[in-house]
Amino acid sequence: MGAFQSPKEWGSLITAMVTPMNPDGSVNYEEAEALANYLVDEQRNTGIVVGGTTGESPTLTDKEKTQLLATVLGAVGDRAAVIFGAGTYDTKHSIYLTQAATEMGAHGIMLVSPYYNKPTQEGLYQHFRAIAERTDRPVMLYNIQGRTGVNIETSTLLRLAEDVQNICAVKEASGNLAQVAEVAAAVPEGFRIYSGDDILTLPVLSVGGIGVVSVAGHVAGKRIVEMMETFFKAPHEAAKLNRKLVPLLKALFCATNPIPVKYAVSLLGFDIANYRLPMVSPTDDQKAMVQTAMEKLGLLEARAAVRGG
């Protein structure tokens, strides 16, 4: 198994990367390469999710998803874990994407719960198992009931972790800290728990998490890493750092993700504030909220250097 093909090598800050698009809605692969390099080299990301829902995956074609994966692997695959978002609401399609990503050299696979069709817990178990058994890469499940309409219950997650060897991580965005604590207390040794909510990263660490699959890591990665590293040395000091981040974390979700974060990344100098319907641009008030939060953290001071300007 090569570098990064173990969740132990994924590190603590994994950003679910937005998909750069041109004004006509086509994918801007050149900008995707530049952004991936920036996330790793400047924002201290230890991993990147390509083709996740923050990347507007429901509106991307399979060809666009795999070309994005090839682009990011080529840019940073020797320096960071590159995890492919292969989850859809169709098990057969998810298997196809998982196998394609495995053949291309993705370091891991992320599987969101099937959205809209709301499977039963047994349906979730069979869905995730069927996909994971078709790859030798580690698999991270993504639990986000607010977007999918279904919660991966603790009993289901534990059953999968015990029965399927390569299901070995979860991105937990249920918003239910008690559930995260229950999972942390019962999963097999080595199973990795990531917060799926930036604003809950610190609480998730406190109950046994090891990091975050982030949105804010696009613009505040270094601050997030500092907070997490501080937590394991001096929790009270980490709380102070986290309090400074809260206004930004709220601003980045003032509209449906990824609308605000794409605008935030554009403020750093990337040509990225384009969307594919049904996503649209933020309002002027939302833009002002994002910009003000970034300015208060000093995140715009070095933006001219982002693209060598």
Between CA 86 and CA 62 the distance in angstroms is: 10
Q: Is there a catalytic annotation at residue 171?
A: yes
**What string of H, E and C letters represents the secondary structure of 133-197?**
CCCCCCEEEEECHHHHCCCCCHHHHHHHHHHCCCEEEEEECCCCHHHHHHHHHHCCCCCEEEECC
Taking the CA atoms of 241, 247, 251 and 257 in sequence, report the sign of the dihedral they define: positive
Burial 61-98, CB ≥16 within 10 A → b, else e = eeebbbbbbbbbbebbbeebbbbbbbbbbebeebbbbb
Q: Is there a catalytic annotation at residue 142?
A: yes
Between CA 115 and CA 215 the distance in angstroms is: 20
Residue type, 109: I
Whether the Cβ atoms of residue 101 and residue 68 lie closer than 8 Å to each other: no
Whether the Cβ atoms of residue 144 and residue 112 lie closer than 8 Å to each other: yes
Least Cα distance to 170 among 200, 190, 140, 191 occurs for 140
Residue type, 145: Q
Between CA 37 and CA 268 the distance in angstroms is: 14
- Residues 125, 142, 263, 275: which is the catalytic one? 142
- Residues 38, 65, 125, 171: which is the catalytic one? 171
**What does the block give as tokens for 186?**
């019962």
Catalytic positions, please? 142, 171
